[in-house]
Amino acid sequence: MSDTAYLNGEFLPLAEARIPVLDRGFIFGDGVYEVIPVYSRRPFRLPEHLRRLQRSLDAIRLGNPMTDSDWTRLVNDLVARHAGEDQSVYLQVTRGVAKRDHAFPSGAKPTVFMMSSPLVTPPREQVEQGVPCITATDYRWLKCDVKSVSLLANCLLRQLAAEAGAVEVVLFRDGCLTEASASNVFVVRNGKLLGPPKNHLILPGITYDVVLELAAAKGIAVELRAIPEQEVRSADELWVTSSSKEVLAVATLDGKAVGGGRPGPVFRTLHQAFQEFKRKVMRQAA
């Protein structure tokens, strides 16, 4: 099966998908997106992803071009056109094609694009040993809760991590933890799981919610509050979470060991719970 994409009403080979250069996604980064993990050919938490998509569209004042049942049908159709058991579905909606002008065009039709790639989750070695991360100042805008395709700041920040041989860059704004360039971040101190609260400074991760649900189920105490940088640097455990990273322990931060320098006991409990949970959900959906 060749890589198939969906663009404005039709499925076609990804390599043949084209958009006009005046698409506002290309010109202004004027659009939003979602990345949906697919396990055993079933989209994981699709209603939650579609709810977040609606939230992002509302935030940029762009009407949803499709109903949730249309999206669900299209996502499943795209998955069916790819051979992989585990996939990563990317979907993007932009404000469409119009003469270049910052103010919204009247009558432009949103551009809808979707593609699917193999889902690449962390290799076993990273899960067992943890990963290196660095830190940086979070200089992104003040609407980080919108899953916008305008990701220049995130790209610049992630490049710092790439150049340092690190997996992610953990961000601080005004002395407190926000998130990472493409992940949420959790801290463990004295057996308690700490996370930054959901507000305009972080993306409300779908994995973030799963982690909180699993922590509650495992009886792990959770506190969502502003987390000063010093509490991150002296954490017992530090994790990054996202749809592709799932739950991953940070072994070193700026070259210094986090806790014992290896994934800690709370991580191991949560990681195992996450693996069991996703397979259980998939079996139930079958």
Among 97, 206, 250, 251, binds ligand PLP (CB under 6 A): 206
Of 186, 272, 269, 263, nearest in space to 232 by CA: 186
Query: Do residues 130 and 102 make contact, with C-beta atoms less than 8 angstroms apart?
Result: no
The yes or no reply on residue 25 touching ligand PLP (CB under 6 A) is: no
CB of 206 to ligand PLP, least distance (A): 4
- Neighbour-count burial of 168, counting CB atoms closer than 10 A to its CB (0-12 exposed, 13-18 middle, 19+ buried): buried
Among 182, 188, 212, 232, binds ligand PLP (CB under 6 A): 182
Q: Which residues pair with 257 in a beta bridge?
A: 252
The yes or no reply on residue 211 touching ligand PLP (CB under 6 A) is: no
Q: Which of 147, 192, 198, 218 is catalytic?
A: 147
Among 87, 88, 135, 243, binds ligand PLP (CB under 6 A): 243
The yes or no reply on residue 184 touching ligand PLP (CB under 6 A) is: yes
69-77 contact pairs (CB < 8 A, 24+): 71/46, 72/46, 74/6, 74/114, 75/36, 75/43, 75/46, 75/114, 76/43, 77/6, 77/11
* Phi and psi, residue 37, nearest 5°: -75, 145
Stretch that binds ligand PLP, among 106-114, 205-213, 216-224, 268-276 (CB under 6 A): 205-213
Of 48, 55, 46, nearest in space to 75 by CA: 46
Residues 44, 282: Cα–Cα separation, whole Å: 8
The yes or no reply on residue 178 touching ligand PLP (CB under 6 A) is: no
Using alpha carbons only, give the angle 43, 179, 243 rounded to the nearest 5 degrees: 15
Among 205, 259, 263, 264, binds ligand PLP (CB under 6 A): 205
- Residue number, 62 or 211, with CB nearest to ligand PLP: 211
- Residue number, 97 or 227, with CB nearest to ligand PLP: 227
The yes or no reply on residue 183 touching ligand PLP (CB under 6 A) is: yes
CB of 156 to ligand PLP, least distance (A): 13
CA distances from 199 to 65, 144, 149 (A): 26, 8, 19
Size of the site for ligand PLP (CB under 6 A): 13
Stretch that binds ligand PLP, among 56-64, 157-165, 237-245, 277-285 (CB under 6 A): 237-245
| 91-130 residues near ligand PLP, rule: CB under 6 A | none
Is residue 280 annotated as a catalytic residue, yes or no?
Answer: no
Residues taking part in catalysis = 147
Which residues make up the interface to ligand PLP (CB under 6 A)? 35, 179, 182-184, 203, 205-208, 241-243
